[in-house]
Amino acid sequence: MATVQSILLLGGTGRTGRRVLERLLARGVRVRAVVRSAGKLPAGAAHAPGLTTVEADLLSLSREQFAEHLRECDAVVSCLGHVISLRGVFGPPRDLVTQAVRRMCDAAVMLRPERPVRFVVMSSVSVHQPGNRDTRRGRREKALLWVLRALVPPAMDNQRAADFLRTGIGPAHPHVQWAVVRPDTLLEGDVSEYAVHPELVTSLFAPGRSTMANVAHFMCELVTSPAAWEAWQGKFPVVVDQHVPKEG
């Protein structure tokens, strides 16, 4: 597998997206970031020589414009999400992540690259895998998720985006490969020891901890490490911090 040289980043001004941007640039990767406001980029990265900034409303871009931004990029990292506010959760667009995922995949299919574009999507542990693979999820939790998806648009949006990749793209598409990264409770903090699991290790009633720095580190690993990509492409990895007990 060839080494990634250039990445298209969506959501690069968000709390986790900013960390992804800074880490990719620190690794010497060229980044094309589509942002609504360039003024919200991290100060230390905004004028980096490896960064190309595209100021645009993402969902206003046509399929052809998506394709132009994707052209010559080896991978896409999406840290898109809904702002945690009344308007951000319940206001439009309620299907931001789903629309962006669909349009990006359509653009990749239109370009027909020789090697599949690697697409890493940040999601949530509220998203379930097919085939009841998340064995820790019992009846009460499934019932709670049903209510959340019915009442809270971002929960349904994340699930539909993941479902599209699983069924609309599938595990063996000639032009798109994907991984859906599922962090637990997103918190502030520096990069520390963390573990990546193929299925859930906590429940919504007893959530774990995933610092944004660790989630960003893992997402960058996926698009820059061939071994990491081979291990997790087409899967729903769960990122959880490792708690190291203090001595004494």
Segments making up each domain of the chain, as ranges: 6-239
What dotted CATH number matches 6-239? 3.40.50.720
Rg (CA), the chain: 17
Predicted pLDDT of residue 19? 95
Predicted pLDDT of residue 148? 72
Predicted pLDDT of residue 39? 87
pLDDT < 50 stretches in the chain: 1-2, 85-86, 88, 244-248
Q: What is the pTM of this model?
A: 0.88
Predicted pLDDT of residue 201? 81
Cα separation, 187 vs 212, in Å, equals 6
Cα separation, 115 vs 25, in Å, equals 23
Predicted pLDDT of residue 82? 59
The answer to whether 31 and 21 have CB atoms below 8 angstroms apart is: yes
- Which DSSP string do the residues of 9-28 spell out, in sequence order? EESTTSHHHHHHHHHHHHTT
The answer to whether 216 and 194 have CB atoms below 8 angstroms apart is: no
Cα separation, 91 vs 84, in Å, equals 11
DSSP3 helix / strand / coil % (the chain, rounded to 5)? 40, 20, 40
Predicted pLDDT of residue 47? 85
